[in-house]
Amino acid sequence: MGFTSQAGQVLVRTQTVAGTYNADTGTAGVKLKVTGGHMDPKREMFVPDAEIGGGRDVTDGILTAVSYTADYEGYVRPDTFITLVNAALGDTDVTPDTPETGANTFLTVGVDSGVLPFLSIEEETGGGFDCNHVRDVYVNSLDLDVDPGGVLKFKAGMIAKHQVGNKTKTATPVEDAVAMFPGTNVTVKFNNVTLPAKSFSLKFTNNFEDDDFRLGSFFLSDVTGKRREVTASFSVRESSAAMWRTAVHGLSTAYEVSSGAVLPQELEVTLTSPTLIGATATPYSITITLPNFVLKPYALKVGGDDIIDDEIEGQAIRPTLADDLITVSTVSGIDAVA
């Protein structure tokens, strides 16, 4: 009998102490529903070169040090999204509704240090193939994308230090909310003007190193974030030349190239679920803000009788430490980050 992928499960929990798997991951963590992805070892076998005086055949093989990586993909749901964003950025504050209604706002911003929260993950594969406890898991990258014909999807790139197999699968884990975020309920604003966007995507990376191995150990010693990068793109049907001039000339009112200066402006994306939180009248929602977003130059897609639609990309920048690179506000029914 084979093992079906769909019978597995992935539970995520913010880890309390480095080097120690959170024992309550099965009860206080939350199930990350994924359409694909698996925590796999990144390991090689050393084969010695041919030696003078030796035979014609390979004489030995030695397994090297190991790290673990995963690219989990799925549909964004609010509670696990809060956990992933907190691990990716580093700092989340919770503001309860007043009066208390059961709908709470989680505001996540980036920390300046490269030291970020990490996760414990219970990963059960194939409904009986194996169950692993993975600790010291870092969210290296988080990609989001949505279009009018679908719902918001994610891809989370993970790096982990250690895993142990032959564990017992949690029988009744905490389920995430059923809410999803359809493209029909998404608003994209640039410089406080709503865009006729046909798609939206965001790419975030911490640029973690995963090769800091030390003598005397099989496992990663240190995982530290390097330069943090956030880019976003959206497809629009052009309604004027203003955005193209901003991207190419630096200003919407500039009719020729006269300098290399860019104009940072706010990009705000609001995603609202049709699902309400509990018995409240408040829907689940996510608001992503890039306070200083710079458009990259782009070429117009002109041809035949085509309507001019363009894919516009940009870079989030942080001119001063007083500015935020990115903020993520999520409204959900939980009381704390899992």
Count of other CB atoms within 10 angstroms of residue 331: 22
Q: 152 pLDDT band (50/70/90 cuts)?
A: very high
Q: What are phi and psi of 81, to 5 degrees?
A: -60, -40
pLDDT at 326: 97
pLDDT at 243: 85
The answer as to whether 53 is a domain residue is: no
User: Tell me: the pLDDT tens digits for 193-216?
Assistant: 999 999 999 999 999 988 899 999
pLDDT at 178: 85
The answer as to whether 338 is a domain residue is: no
Q: 306 pLDDT band (50/70/90 cuts)?
A: confident
pLDDT, the chain, mean: 93
Q: Which of 31, 119, 131, 109 is nearest to 322 (CA)?
A: 109
The answer as to whether 229 is a domain residue is: yes
Q: 77 pLDDT band (50/70/90 cuts)?
A: very high
Q: Please give the residue range of the domain that contains residue 178.
A: 5-43+61-332
User: Tell me: the pLDDT tens digits for 6-64?
Assistant: 989 999 999 999 999 999 999 999 999 999 999 999 999 999 999 999 899 999 999 99
The answer as to whether 224 is a domain residue is: yes
Task: Give the distance from CA 137 to its chain's centroid.
Answer: 13
The answer as to whether 48 is a domain residue is: no
**CA distances (Å), 253 to each of 227, 261, 291, in order?**
33, 14, 21
Q: What is the pTM of this model?
A: 0.93
- The number of distinct structural domains making up the chain is 1
The answer as to whether 337 is a domain residue is: no
User: Tell me: the pLDDT tens digits for 221-271?
Assistant: 988 888 999 999 999 988 888 888 889 998 888 888 888 888 899 999 999
% of residues, the chain, pLDDT over 70: 99
Of 279 and 165, the structure prediction assigns the larger pLDDT to: 165
The Cα–Cα gap between 217 and 215 comes to 6
